[in-house]
């Protein structure tokens, strides 16, 4: 049994309490990946102190040099891609082709933000006064606390850490306790790339203890969190009282619309991938399918036929298409929603944990489809985060748009249609941060902004250059070379001008 450690101030150290917790393979709960530190506030104090100590030297390192180190991280991730993907599938459960995509997302993010070290653009504008110049620049904020989920255990930590570091912040990463090993491997990569001691720090442990200590620590100035809306609201309240910069990427109840003129073969592939890829454990997963009534019966027949044939099993076997849920608690939570759904709508397939043969050792759940779902149903309104799809039927595009928007969330949406007018109308009217046309609700690219509206977040975006609004402050600089006192913001105009 391997016992892993925290990474604080450039050193691998155990939790100060000496306590650990097991990291289990969700495809086979008899397989333990390792023991990880059950850290507490004392470990967070040590990590934040190390990050704070390293901040001044790191912020004064030229941004292009910081970017070069992230590019080096990308090179190491490329070399270790298959190793990390295999470890991810064992730890998180997603099928191997998805795990490889998760690592590749981290690599792409390294290429993107490593290059941003040579930009970090501010802007200049003319002064209203003669012989005076003005311009702006971005400056880092300080120690960033990054709290990441288990469903993308490498990609999301890179989405947060790479721009934070290129901007000149130092970081303390608190990964999900269901997937600590992937973050351990990322720290190994940072260490090999040669980042200075204390610039990156890793503290394992529970969200309530370690995450709470990180959010409430007086020396963390930025908090970036991806997870549930309920937890995100609590973080926003706690960190907001301390006037910290807060970025929240929260839940979703995403829908795919299929119009009567759509390519049904393409739409079918889209909903199967969107609903059951990553076993439905994505904030962008297709949880609702909105079908035009003219194609409802034909599409449902095709959907159920295909859904029943999806092959469940451990993700390391490349013949399998759907892996396990992350843990037994998620199996219970999904099953509770399915029980609710059986009272609200018609179950067409699935509807129970998968426990045949070797699947009984893991956390598998059958791909599940409900039809005749009303917009008011709980399974149509609440985030399930599992392989459960709710089908709703509409008579036209306006009803489809209204149905899709009738939710507290607003992350991702999709419409399948051959009518360009309907497609553009949908992109205008759908109340989501991301809209896909003739593509599923999943598949974001790291060089575009990622995030949503309503209860999906607090307005910030990850990905591309908007993420630097999270991790930088604006500094405005004026240089007056007139040699005399010039007064701005008063009336300098002569009478009559």
Cα separation, 440 vs 285, in Å, equals: 9
Angle ∠(134,137,140) on CA atoms, nearest 5: 150
182 catalytically annotated: no
Query: Residue 389 is encoded by which pair of tokens?
Result: 């799809």
Local structure of 321: helix, strand or coil: coil
What pairs with residue 28 in β-bridges?
Answer: 25
Cα separation, 471 vs 120, in Å, equals: 11
Q: At what angle do helices 296-307 and 264-276 cross, to 10 degrees?
A: 50
CB 222 within 8 A of CB 245: yes
* C-alpha separations of 368 from 298, 335, 336, 388 in Å: 18, 10, 13, 5
Rounded (10°) CA dihedral 403, 408, 411, 415: 0
363 catalytically annotated: no
Number of H helices and E strands in the chain, helices first, is: 15, 21
Catalytic residue among 91, 105, 249, 462: 249
Cα separation, 51 vs 198, in Å, equals: 5
Local structure of 428: helix, strand or coil: helix
Cα separation, 447 vs 194, in Å, equals: 25
Cα separation, 332 vs 338, in Å, equals: 10
Select from 31, 24, 25, 2 the least CA-distant residue to 14.
Answer: 2
What pairs with residue 201 in β-bridges?
Answer: 172
Catalytic residue among 182, 283, 349, 363: 283
The H or E element containing residue 290 is strand 286-292
What are the residue numbers of the active site? 249, 283
């Amino acid at each position: 049994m391997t016992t892993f450690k925290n990474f604080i101030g450039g050193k691998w150290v155990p939790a100060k309490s000496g306590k650990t917790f097991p990291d289990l393979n969700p495809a086979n709960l008899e397989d333990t990946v390792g023991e990880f530190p059950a850290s507490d506030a004392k470990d967070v104090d040590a990590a934040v102190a190390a990050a704070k100590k390293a901040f001044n030297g790191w912020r004064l390192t030229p941004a292009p040099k910081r970017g070069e180190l992230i590019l080096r991280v990308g090179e190491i991730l490329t070399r270790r891609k298959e190793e990390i993907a295999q470890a991810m599938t064992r730890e998180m459960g997603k099928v191997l082709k998805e795990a490889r995509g998760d690592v590749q997302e981290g690599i792409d993010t390294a290429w993107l933000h490593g290059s941003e070290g040579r930009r970090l653009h501010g802007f200049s504008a003319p002064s209203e006064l003669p012989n005076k110049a003005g311009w702006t620049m971005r400056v880092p904020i300080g120690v960033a606390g990054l709290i990441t989920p288990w469903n993308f255990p490498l990609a999301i930590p890179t989405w947060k850490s790479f721009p934070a570091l290129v901007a000149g912040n130092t970081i303390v990463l608190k990964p999900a306790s269901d997937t600590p090993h992937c973050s351990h491997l990322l720290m190994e990569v940072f260490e090999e790339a040669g980042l200075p001691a204390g610039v990156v720090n890793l503290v394992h442990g529970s969200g309530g203890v370690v995450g709470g200590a990180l959010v409430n620590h007086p020396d963390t100035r930025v908090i970036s969190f991806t997870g549930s809306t309920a937890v995100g609201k609590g973080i926003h309240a706690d960190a907001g009282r301390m006037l910290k910069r807060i970025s929240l990427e929260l839940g979703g109840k995403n829908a795919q619309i299929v119009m009567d003129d759509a390519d049904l073969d393409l739409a079918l592939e889209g909903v199967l991938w969107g609903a059951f890829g990553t076993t439905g454990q994505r904030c962008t997963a297709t949880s609702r399918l909105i079908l035009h009534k003219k194609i409802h019966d034909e599409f449902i027949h095709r959907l159920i036929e295909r859904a029943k044939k999806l092959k469940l099993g451990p993700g390391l076997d490349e013949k399998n298409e759907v892996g396990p849920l992350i843990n037994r608690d998620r199996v219970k939570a999904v099953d509770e929603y399915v029980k609710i759904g059986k009272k609200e709508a018609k179950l067409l397939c699935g509807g129970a944990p998968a426990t045949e043969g070797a699947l009984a050792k893991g956390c598998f759940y059958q791909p599940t489809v409900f039809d005749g779902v009303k917009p008011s149903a709980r399974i149509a309104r609440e985030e399930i985060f599992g392989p459960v799809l709710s089908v709703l039927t509409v008579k036209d595009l306006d009803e489809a748009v209204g149905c899709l928007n009738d939710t507290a969330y607003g992350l991702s949406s999709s419409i399948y249609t051959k009518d360009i007018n309907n497609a553009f109308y949908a992109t205008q009217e759908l109340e989501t941060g991301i809209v896909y046309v003739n593509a599923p609700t999943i598949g974001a690219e790291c060089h575009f902004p990622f995030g949503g509206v309503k209860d999906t977040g607090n307005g910030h975006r990850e990905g591309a250059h908007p993420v630097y609004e999270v991790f930088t402050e604006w500094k405005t600089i004026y240089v007056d070379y007139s040699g005399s006192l010039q007064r701005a913001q008063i009336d300098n105009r002569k009478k009559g001008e």
